[in-house]
Amino acid sequence: MDLYAELIIEHAKRPQHAGLREPFDTETHHLNPSCGDEVTLRVRLDRSGEHPVLADVSYDAMGCSISVAATSVLAEECLGRPVPETLQTYAAMHAMLTSRGQDEGDPEQIGDGVAFAGVSRYPMRVKCALLGWAAYLDALARAGVDIGGAPTDVRALERS
């Protein structure tokens, strides 16, 4: 099955940087009402430089392999990077996921995220892959980061 790339199964079985850690600046809890998948996510920002840096992102994800793996890839790709760059990663992920199979994804920009290219061909599963990102954007917004007006509800995010 093209949906379940090896990388997705691996991330789902062994989610990277999983578990809720202290200290943190903000915590969000998001769920997908159509299936009950849930994620709790925390961020800690380092604001000593010009741009805030994602000093830590930790999470507890409960759900299907797509939603757990997507949150794991989010953590792997974004941890330790300047927040504006992580928002670019998000934008590239979002573009690929909502492309209905047209955008294969650029490994330079989204790393292991390319494993999710197949998800875009299953419109019912796009929300699964976006749930962790919705929680992340919300956590950033609550920490006072400008997220460019992106919605933080996963259903709205899918359509944005």
Q: Which of 105, 108, 87, 89 lies closest to 97, judged by CA? A: 105
Segment interacting with another protein (CB under 8 A) among 28-36, 43-51, 82-90, 108-116:
28-36
Handedness of CA 70, 75, 77, 78 (dihedral sign): positive
Among 66, 75, 134, 140, binds another protein (CB under 8 A): 66
DSSP 8-29: HHHHHHS-TTBB--SS-SEEEE
Q: 30 or 44: whose CB is closer to another protein?
A: 30
Under rule CB under 8 A, how many of the chain's residues touch another protein? 18
Distance CA 10, CA 27 (A): 26
The site map against another protein for 88-127 (x = CB under 8 A) is: ----------------------------------x--x--
Contact between 120 and 134 (Cβ < 8 Å): no
Cβ neighbours for 136, distance < 8 A, ≥ 6 positions apart = 41, 43, 57, 74, 78, 86, 90
The site map against another protein for 124-143 (x = CB under 8 A) is: -x--x---------------
Among 25, 39, 45, 63, binds another protein (CB under 8 A): 63
The site map against another protein for 35-54 (x = CB under 8 A) is: xxx-----------------
End-to-end alpha carbon distance in the chain: 28
Q: Which residues bind another protein (CB under 8 A)?
A: 1, 3-4, 9, 12-13, 34-37, 62-66, 122, 125, 128
